[in-house]
Amino acid sequence: MSLPINIEQLLEGNIVEWERVDFKAGWNPEDVMHTMCAFANDIHNWGGGYIVCGVAEHDGKPVLPPIGLESNQLDSIQKKLVEIAAQVQPTVNYVVEPVVFREKNILVIWVPGGDNRPYKSPTALGKESIKQGRRYYVRKGSVTCIADAEDERRLLALTNKIPFDDRLCHQAQISDLNKFLIADFLQQIGSNITEDDLINMPMEQLCWDMQIIGGTSEYVRPKNVGVLFFSKNPEKFIPGARIEIVRFGKEPSEVFEEKILNGPIHKQLEDALSYLEHQVVTEKVKKQPGKAAALRAYNYPYQALEEIVCNAVYHKSWDDRNPIEINIYPDRITVYNIEGPLPPLTNDDMQKEHVISRNYRNRRIGDLLKELELTEGRNTGFPKVYREIRKNGSPLPKFETDERNMYFMATLPIHQIFLEDDNASVVEPVVEQLTERQRFILKLIGESVVEGVVVTASILAKKMNVSPRTIQRELAALQKMGKLSRQGGDSNGTWVLLK
């Protein structure tokens, strides 16, 4: 069965951080067993990880092209995996897929963070070694190693502490998950799961492979992450699973627009970002005395807003009944959610531009948002926000929590020129220069027109080795620039180049 992830992007490090991918040039069952144990222990709540057999590594990163495995090895390796997974106690849960990558056979093993931490593994295979007892294994950077005393203390403290998004949602049934939403998600991330797979596969098997259900054979329930992403109305089962956007007037009590976003949380997030980009963000041009060039600035840099709102969805305590709040005032935007950052981070830490966190609240939500390219790697949010703020010339943002880390609020002040009463004009965003990727897309579309071939977003994604979602975003940008137009519908239309 195909993994619910784009294999090419996994191997390029675009979705999953290198610390969560272990590359092995060949097949060594003991090494694989130890790494499976370490990923299941998931000591940092990162969401487990992937073992890739048939790809060498250097400094924790893949050496490409792959070495590959012999095709006659694949069946025996998968049988051996069942045996070594059972040697880890409790037994490790995993999903495995043989993949042909650059004409070589490789094996990808996905080990989610376990529900029954801590896990122990024999130090070696063989009856005598197993009799000698088992040890805890953890990941340190891109290396699997035996846990030291401090690691053991942390693992024992994690016993039965399963993050909320990975817990069972006892109020929901598998029938409350929507196969079309799952199919749409898999198509967006460029998964190798085919349309025939989706049509022919039983819903329960698909959900097991995606690890969005759990339980025992007699009691199977969706996990909270499955409900949040793949049910039509998550708030029916998880109260507060919504985003509220409120626009205020000049008076504090004057509310002139309110939007309540419902549905799958990644769809809510996309709708919120679309509203901010098209209904809130504007640009202003102001002539400067004695200077030929005018001052151009946005009221709020969209990239900074995007980062803050995405991280609110990622880090929200979804078992709390309060929604994510986006409040738009005449002079600022605030994004508020509960709870705040996990200890040991404090309010003082929030005042720094580079905030390093080792603890993450929602390991599975973070994974799915990264696959959708809505969030990036760990500890990248604050630096990106500050970078975009400075690029726009806006006042610095403010991030805050309370003494008990019960909430998190980000405040973006409006750019100063939007507070000035002058004759400056509000204009549409400046058309940026084409990126190399956008030029290549136009080139491919132009060639397809000459050859009389219909080119789709999925075809472009495969040719450029990126996700379909990335291509869709680039196509939308090119349309906005006036470089492309769409003739016909989404399913049977064609792209037309514009001058």
**CATH for 144:** 3.30.950.30
Q: Do 283 and 149 belong to one domain?
A: no
What pLDDT score was predicted for residue 346? 80
Q: Do 318 and 209 belong to one domain?
A: no
Cα torsion angle, 80, 367, 212, 216, sign? positive
Beta-sheet strands, E only, within 210-279: 213-216, 219-222, 243-248, 255-261
Q: Do 203 and 277 belong to one domain?
A: no
- 425's CB contacts (< 8 A; 6+ apart) are 284, 285
Tens-digit pLDDT profile for residues 376-417: 655 567 888 999 999 999 999 999 998 888 899 999 999 999
Q: Do 300 and 219 belong to one domain?
A: no
Q: Grade residue 328 by pLDDT with cuts at 50, 70 and 90.
A: very high
At 21, the amino acid letter reads V
**Number of other CB atoms surrounding residue 207 within 10 Å:** 22
Tell me: cis bond preceding 239? Omega within 30 of 0 counts: no
Q: Domain end: 385, 407, 427, which one?
A: 427
Q: Do 400 and 476 belong to one domain?
A: no
What pLDDT score was predicted for residue 429? 42
Distance CA 187, CA 6 (A): 10
Q: Domain end: 159, 182, 213, which one?
A: 159
Q: Do 397 and 376 belong to one domain?
A: yes
Distance CA 297, CA 292 (A): 16
Give the range among 9-18, 422-431, 477-486 with minimum mean pLDDT.
422-431
Q: Do 132 and 96 belong to one domain?
A: yes
Tens-digit pLDDT profile for residues 337-375: 988 887 777 888 778 877 666 567 888 998 899 888 887
- 190's CB contacts (< 8 A; 6+ apart) are 6, 8, 9, 458, 461, 466, 467, 468, 469
The residue range of the domain holding 39 is: 1-159
Q: Do 476 and 351 belong to one domain?
A: no
Total domain count for the chain? 4
Q: Do 58 and 183 belong to one domain?
A: no
Quote the mean pLDDT of the chain.
86
CB pairs under 8 A, 24+ apart, for 130-135?
130/87, 134/88, 134/89
Q: Do 258 and 407 belong to one domain?
A: yes
Radius of gyration of the chain (CA): 25
Question: For residue 316, with 0-12 CB atoms within 10 Å meaning exposed, 13-18 middle and 19 or more buried, which class applies?
Answer: buried
- Interval 103-111 mean pLDDT: 94
Q: Say which CATH number the domain at 410 has.
A: 3.30.565.60
Q: Do 270 and 344 belong to one domain?
A: yes
